[in-house]
């Protein structure tokens, strides 16, 4: 039986900035809101698709060094931007598609998440925007 082994090592850009080396976890979830359309006479709930509301959640190491995490994100809070993610650093292809959220919104940015003896990490979520995927 054929199987595919995939070592998670995605490439992440936020507002065009490559933050792969500051990211340790990422989850891109495509969401299309469910609108209930169940009517009398039905025996089960049924839904139709509503607005798209996809999310990209990143776990990142916080860095206040020049052109690193904080410099990238500080001015994006409360604004819209574009984020991309692709499974590996290889060239974009049908087996390594690049996903893009154009016009997604960054609502919150943890500034400091400090614990004694631990690296400062932050979780951020980009919400909304138009999802697209490219294979070339």
Partner 1 sequence: MLRLDNKSAGTDRMIYTIASTKLGIIGDPYVPADGINVAALLSGGFIVEQSTPKPKKPAKTNTETNEEI
**Where along the sequence are the contacts to partner 1 (CB under 8 A)?**
15-19, 66-68, 71-72, 74-76, 79-82, 102-103, 129
Q: Which of 118, 39, 129 is nearest to 82 (CA)?
A: 129
Q: How far apart are CA 63 and CA 70, in angstroms?
A: 6
CB of 45 to partner 1, least distance (A): 36
Considering beta carbons, is residue 35 or 110 the nearer one to partner 1? Answer: 110
Considering beta carbons, is residue 43 or 67 the nearer one to partner 1? Answer: 67
Considering beta carbons, is residue 76 or 124 the nearer one to partner 1? Answer: 76
| The pairing of beta strand 98-106 with beta strand 11-14 | unpaired
Considering beta carbons, is residue 52 or 68 the nearer one to partner 1? Answer: 68
CB of 70 to partner 1, least distance (A): 9
CB of 56 to partner 1, least distance (A): 13
What is the DSSP secondary structure assignment for residue 30, as one 8-state letter? -
Helix (H/G/I), strand (E/B), else coil: 45? coil
Structure tokens at 30: 């495509």
Considering beta carbons, is residue 10 or 129 the nearer one to partner 1? Answer: 129
Q: How far apart are CA 30 and CA 4, in angstroms?
A: 22
Q: How far apart are CA 6 and CA 33, in angstroms?
A: 29
> Is residue 129 a contact partner of residue 103, using CB atoms and an 8 Å limit?
yes
CB of 100 to partner 1, least distance (A): 9
CB of 17 to partner 1, least distance (A): 5
């Amino acid at each position: 039986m054929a199987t595919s082994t995939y070592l998670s090592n995605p490439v992440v850009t936020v507002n065009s900035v490559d933050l792969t080396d500051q990211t340790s976890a990422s989850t891109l979830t495509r969401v299309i809101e469910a609108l209930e359309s169940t009517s009398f006479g039905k025996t089960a709930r049924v839904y139709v698709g509503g607005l798209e509301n996809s999310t990209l959640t990143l776990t990142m190491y916080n860095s206040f060094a020049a052109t690193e995490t904080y410099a990238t994100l500080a001015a994006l809070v409360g604004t819209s931007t574009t984020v991309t993610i692709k499974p590996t650093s290889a060239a974009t292809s049908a087996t390594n598609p690049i996903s893009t959220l154009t016009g997604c919104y960054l609502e919150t940015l943890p500034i400091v998440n400090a614990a004694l003896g631990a690296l400062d990490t932050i979780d951020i979520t980009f919400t909304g925007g138009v999802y697209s995927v490219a294979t070339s």
